[in-house]
Amino acid sequence: MSHIHLRSVMLLLLITLLSSSEALAQSSSERDRIMKEIESLQEQVKAKEKVLLAPAREDAAPYEDFLNQPGTGLIRLLPREKYDGKLLIRGGGAYYSFASLKHEYGQGSDIELQQNSFSVGFAGADFGYLCLLGEVPLQEVGLDHAGAQFLLNYAAPSAEPEARQAAMRARTDFQANNYVYKDRLPVQVGSTYLLRSISYGDSDTLVAFRVLRKDSDGSVILLWKMLKKFPKPQLQRDKTAKM
């Protein structure tokens, strides 16, 4: 091979390598641009989700004094069957933690809205109880209310077998002090509820809430107040249980 031919081949190879490097650089730059666009779109969606989850100003206006008190709040829950999987927020806005003040599922979630019903206890040995008080003003419900006595005095089990037995018990109606307790109850607009949510490793709370209204999309507006925060429950795993 002549020097001229060899030089031509090397020049062609160099041009090819430079072209490939430029193409790779352009590809990497293009991917970075697309990633930035995705992140920007995600932030926009998150901002829209906050608007979707927010109660209307008209909902808060009548309760301004109440909401200025510590341990109170006003939230919207979205029906899981309609929004889960359609929003970026895990759980589709159907869950809420009264301890961490978050809708995101898995953050010690205390309540769920699904199929026009409230429920409590969603993962592992976590469980809880709901109690329907009826059309009782939320401001009148405290730790001395008769319906709160069972929930207030209930000691969360620490052993896993006992916790799972308690969760099974909560799936069926049972009575105490002439009130019915269960882990799932239907939504009744204008009614007040009590909720004891035991989320192992996260929180243990006793909350009272009232359903102010229900929107056309099935979402509900809840006015709530924290009655008591119990010590964070810890679960002693059953090492003999089969995996």
Considering the domain architecture, whether residues 43 and 67 belong to the same structural domain is answered as no
Is a pLDDT exceeding 70 seen at residue 20?
A: no
Considering the domain architecture, whether residues 146 and 31 belong to the same structural domain is answered as no
Considering the domain architecture, whether residues 121 and 192 belong to the same structural domain is answered as yes
DSSP state letters, 148-216: GHHHHHPPPP-BHHHHHHHHHHHTS-EEETTEEEBSEEE--TT-EEEEEEEETTTEEEEEEEEEEEE-T
The boundaries of the domain holding residue 205 are 57-229
- How far is 215 from 52, CA to CA, in rounded Å? 12
239 inside domain? no
Q: Which domain-ending residue is among 53, 71, 94?
A: 53
- How far is 71 from 50, CA to CA, in rounded Å? 21
Q: What percent of the chain has pLDDT over 70?
A: 87
169 inside domain? yes
Q: How confident is the model at residue 243, as a pLDDT?
A: 36
32 inside domain? yes
Considering the domain architecture, whether residues 171 and 115 belong to the same structural domain is answered as yes
Number of domains in the chain: 2
Q: How confident is the model at residue 198, as a pLDDT?
A: 97
Is a pLDDT exceeding 50 seen at residue 4?
A: no
240 inside domain? no
140 inside domain? yes
Considering the domain architecture, whether residues 30 and 106 belong to the same structural domain is answered as no
Q: How confident is the model at residue 144, as a pLDDT?
A: 96
63 inside domain? yes
Considering the domain architecture, whether residues 102 and 208 belong to the same structural domain is answered as yes
Considering the domain architecture, whether residues 63 and 77 belong to the same structural domain is answered as yes
Is a pLDDT exceeding 60 seen at residue 113?
A: yes
Mean pLDDT value of segment 59-66: 95
Grade residue 6 by pLDDT with cuts at 50, 70 and 90: very low
Considering the domain architecture, whether residues 49 and 154 belong to the same structural domain is answered as no
200 inside domain? yes
How far is C-alpha 28 from the geometric centre of its chain's CA atoms?
Answer: 37
Considering the domain architecture, whether residues 75 and 174 belong to the same structural domain is answered as yes
Q: For the segment 30-45, what is each residue's pLDDT rounded down to a tens digit?
A: 888 888 877 887 788 7
Query: Which residues neighbour 139 within 8 Å (Cβ) at sequence distance 6 or greater?
Result: 66
Considering the domain architecture, whether residues 24 and 9 belong to the same structural domain is answered as yes
Considering the domain architecture, whether residues 31 and 90 belong to the same structural domain is answered as no
238 inside domain? no
Q: What percent of the chain has pLDDT over 90?
A: 67
Considering the domain architecture, whether residues 186 and 95 belong to the same structural domain is answered as yes
Is a pLDDT exceeding 50 seen at residue 77?
A: yes
Which residue is associated with the tokens 């002549």?
2
Q: Which domain-ending residue is among 30, 53, 76?
A: 53
